[in-house]
Homo-oligomer: A and B are copies of this chain.
Amino acid sequence: MRPLRLGFVGGGPGAGIAHVHRRAARLDNRFAIVAGAFSRRTDANRAMGEELGIAPDRVYDDFAAMARAEARRPDGVECAAIVTPNSTHAAASLAFIREGIDVICDKPMAMSLDEARAMERAAAEHGVVFALTHNYSAYPMVIEARHQVLSGAIGAIRVVTVEYAHGTRNRLIEAEGDAKMAWRVDPAVAGPSTVLGDIGTHAHHLMRRVTGLEIQALSAELSTMVPGRRADDNAFVSLRFAGGARGQLWASMVAAGNGHGLRIRVFGETGSLHWDQERPDLLVLQADNAPYRVMRRGEGYLCDAARHASRTKAGNPEGFFGAFANVYADAAEVIAARREGREPDPLAASFATARDGVLAMKFIEAAVASSRAGAAWTDATLAD
């Protein structure tokens, strides 16, 4: 299958996550990177273009110029990857969407619920694919967890706990001059709750993805633990799900020493599922009155979708790049299918959609409101 032509917005030299997007795009040979607006700094922009072997005329000053020019080329990009800071996600995505170019966008989708809704509407109007890189939900064993829930392995869900708690911002890093980190705790660039926007949305999507449950109401306590910080850095959120289940989400940037710290546990009537991103190839099913069952990526007993998301045999850990590449590979399949006028492989579903992004923004806004209202239970549903 021919690799799709891909362009990047953001990801200049030294950018934190952009190199992961590029590796993910390359791993399965489904994309060729052919254009970009990598940096507002001219030198950096040009240097990254050279490093990636991109023709100089396809290294653009900004995303608007890039969207216009590429849309007019017969060999223009078929997909744009948006890997800028959060505050540019909406504008950059819209520039490509409006040209009919499919978009892969880093999370969180936008700065506000309104922005996210506008992006969702635009993507629908223009009929393009919009994929959000909730890469942690694209691990094969997360996909298997969802399958186990749906197939009734633990009965109806009663309690869910999810946490994404690390400690990389346990000092006042924004005062230390690391630009790559600093914007993530700047509300003007990162959004109304920085801890929920930056990492809480990953936990939120993981929880929805695995359980299939939607949050009805929440009670939140957002705090700033590092003196001098202008943004929040710790969030405890208590959840009531549609259907009666209860849950809890913890997101923290001040959990010093905690490694990566993303994990989920789902408790049903008869058992529970446990997954931890630091051992991503394992999924533990703890059923009542039975030995614990440890399922492993790469094994033949997994569901089709989990096997689809895996490249090597069990025991050889695939890890972070594999999961991130699943988002790109599945997006490539859906984009190619749209452009070829065919149905995509139904297993190509590891990425988050615009609707997922909209719900995440609603979650953030409800949590901010609840916390300000003294942890009062606050509606987290969408009217539409």
Interface residues of A (CB under 8 A from B): 1-3, 19-20, 22-23, 26-29, 51-53, 154-155, 158-159, 161, 166-168, 170, 219, 221, 223, 225, 234, 236, 238, 240, 244, 246, 248, 250, 252, 254-261, 265, 267-272, 277-280, 285-296, 299-301, 311-322, 374-377
Contact = CB atoms under 8 A, between A and B. Distances in A.
Q: Do most interface residues of chain A lie in helix, strand or loop, or is the interface mixed?
A: loop
A246 B226 CA distance: 12
Contacts of A293: 291-294
A367 to B, nearest CB: 12
Nearest to A376: B374
A143 to B, nearest CB: 16
Contacts of A285: 257, 291
26 contacts: A23-B27, A27-B27, A29-B52, A158-B170, A170-B288, A219-B238, A219-B374, A225-B244, A252-B267, A255-B265, A256-B267, A256-B270, A257-B286, A258-B286, A289-B301, A291-B296, A292-B294, A293-B293, A312-B320, A316-B319, A316-B320, A317-B319, A318-B321, A321-B322, A374-B376, A375-B375
B29 A287 contact: no
Given A219-B238, A256-B287, A318-B320, 13 more contacts: A27-B321, A159-B225, A159-B234, A167-B272, A170-B270, A255-B265, A255-B267, A259-B315, A260-B316, A277-B316, A278-B315, A278-B317, A318-B319
A291 B290 contact: no
A99 B252 CA distance: 52
A195 to B, nearest CB: 12
A20 B312 contact: yes
Contacts of A3: 53
Contacts of A300: 289
Nearest to A273: B257
Contacts of A29: 22, 26, 51-52
Contact of A267 (B23, B51, B258, B260): B258
Most buried by B among A52, A256, A268, A270: A256
